[in-house]
Structure 1
Amino acid sequence: MKTGGELPLGVVLAGGLSSRMGRDKAWLTFFGQPLLRRVAEVLAGVTGEIMVSGRDPAPFGFACPWLPDDTPRLGPAGGVMTVLAATGRPCLVVSCDLPFLEPETLVRLVAAWRDRPETALMTTYRIVETGFVESLVAIYDPAGLPLLRENLEQGQRRLSAIFPESLRCHLDYSRDDPAVARAFFNVNSPPDLIRARGMEEGA
């Protein structure tokens, strides 16, 4: 599917409860910025137009439209459903807990999305060795909204299960590629944060 110079809407998912971390991940500071702001600026540099799902980004020093999360107990899949329903547009969705996300990672994703097959409702990265899908750095098509709703109503919240392989377009990468793997490192827990601080110091 060719889409010319079209860009998806950038969306930062920031409605999580941060239960594993024990404190609000969006306020963790990396490279001198709150994490939510850092991720939003990287995303905006690629898509131009962005919004935040789950909270107002203004207190973080970043101004853009935002949506409250209508489904806070449904996890990231609920956030994706909310933004697709509200915008009716393809959305490049990223979680707010990716301190080492780089523009190049997103540029490659957009390029793959522009050439995706007609059947693809989700364009994403996949780890070659394990088949793991990076569902929180992915582009979702609004045509997938009915499938999202149906699965969430049935209790399925895992995005890679809601959108099976036949409905995905993949960019494969190796976990042995440190530059790419670093971009997907997320801070979910205190041990993750300790490791991330070491990575930040070595940057």
Structure 2
Amino acid sequence: MKSVIVLCGGLSTRMGQDKGSMNYHGKPMIVHVLESLNQVADEVVLVLRNEVQYNKYKNLLSKNAFLESSNFKILKDTIKDKGPLGGIYTGISAINSDKALIAPCDSPFISKELVTQLFEISKNYPDFESFVPIWSDGNMEPLHSIYPVRSKEIIEDLLLKDQKNVKALIKRLNVKYIKIDEFDLPKKSFLNLNSPQDISKVE
């Protein structure tokens, strides 16, 4: 079963607004992300940070079929103000499989091919718990990675110690790092749009 958790965090100071709700090519970025994931995932969980964002996104998606799909859930962070790590905790607590791919809501170019390839790799290497794409310079893509449900206990421990960096979780798992150059897809599949300048570069 392919489970995907989409994280929508706080406001972007450079965008001046909630990134997932920002329009790109006529529709919110979150819709671009969900349309790609919905083609290949058996289960999609959208995690939002609070009640205000929850209501905003329910309204934003009201004209789309996602809300009526049985394989789609919208959740609010169960542990507040803990960043992406808190979002991962909320998401993996709600999925029906033993692992999930994490995706950010500000990556409108994430493709069904990327999701398919990541899950295929995870199936071919059952001895590993987590699967993390990595660039040639050593930089990781922790929010385009697969994590096991058992991460929940580790995250609880990290958050109790006020450690909110996803890389702290990665250090506690048996990880297979996947060179991004080995993926047969455009590199912009990993691109996050963090500023108006980012958008202008891909127009």
Question: TM class by shorter-chain length?
Answer: 0.7 to 0.9
SS at match of 2:143: strand
Work out which of the residue numbers 190, 198, 202 in structure 1 matches 2:196: 190
**How far 1:166 moved relative to its partner?**
5.8
The two structures have a TM-score, normalised by structure 1, of 0.81
Work out which of the residue numbers 46, 49, 52 in structure 1 matches 2:46: 52
Which segments of 5 or more consecutive residues in structure 2 lack a partner in the other structure?
49-53
SS at match of 2:137: coil
Aligned: 1:26 with 2:35: no
**Partner of 1:126 in structure 2?**
134
* Deviations 1:91-135 (CA, angstroms, capped at 9, x unpaired): 2210000021111111110101112343x33212111x2222211
* Counterpart contact for 1:121–1:163, Cα < 8 Å: no
Which segments of 5 or more consecutive residues in structure 1 lack a partner in the other structure?
1-6
* Pairing 1:44-193 to 2, within 5 Å after superposition: 44-54=38-48, 55=54, 56-60=57-61, 61=64, 62-63=66-67, 64-87=72-95, 89=97, 90-118=99-127, 120-127=128-135, 129-164=136-171, 167-174=174-181, 179-193=185-199
Give the Cα–Cα distance (whole angstroms) in 2 for the partners of residues 8 and 48 of structure 1. Answer: 5
The number of equivalent residue pairs is 188
* Counterpart contact for 1:92–1:138, Cα < 8 Å: yes
Deviates more, 1:74-83 or 1:144-153: 144-153
Give the Cα–Cα distance (whole angstroms) in 2 for the partners of residues 133 and 57 of structure 1. Answer: 31
SS at match of 1:171: strand
Give the Cα–Cα distance (whole angstroms) in 2 for the partners of residues 51 and 168 of structure 1. Answer: 23
**In structure 2, what residue type is equivalent to 1:190?**
P
**Partner of 1:42 in structure 2?**
36
The two structures have a TM-score, normalised by structure 2, of 0.81
1:19–1:45 CA distance, 2 compared to 1 (3 A): same
Give the Cα–Cα distance (whole angstroms) in 1 for the partners of residues 38 and 88 of structure 2. Answer: 18
| Percent of aligned positions that are identical | 27
**Aligned alpha-carbon RMSD (Å):** 2.4
